Amino acid sequence: MRYLNRVFLVVAFIGLLSGLSFKAWSTDRSPDKNNAASSAKVAAKRGEQAKEKELATQQSEEEQASS
């Protein structure tokens, strides 16, 4: 019974270490790159939306001026 208890403790300890190391590895995979990529996408989308909004206001101003 003591043997099984030791085996269980060793397996649990190894599992804990591997879980912690995987967590550290997955969070340390340069989050700056991921954030930079998503920030660039968001900035591009905002730029497109701003251009569309500006174009829409220009068109509405032209329509008001022509009428």
Q: Domain segments of the chain: what residues?
A: 2-28+38-66
Q: Is 30 left (phi over 0), alpha (psi -120 to 50) or beta?
A: left
pTM for the structure as a whole: 0.40
CA 2 to chain centre: 47
Q: What integer pLDDT is reported at residue 30 of this predicted model?
A: 59
Q: What integer pLDDT is reported at residue 27 of this predicted model?
A: 65
Q: What is the mean pLDDT of residues 24-48?
A: 71
- Residue with more model confidence, 55 or 34: 55
The alpha carbon dihedral of 30, 36, 37, 39 has a sign of: positive
Q: What is the mean pLDDT of residues 2-24?
A: 89
The percent of residues in the chain predicted with pLDDT above 70, rounded, is 78
AA letter at 62: E
Burial code (b: 16+ CB inside 10 Å, e: under 16) for 40-64 equals eeeeeeeeeeeeeeeeeeeeeeeee
- Residue with more model confidence, 14 or 2: 14
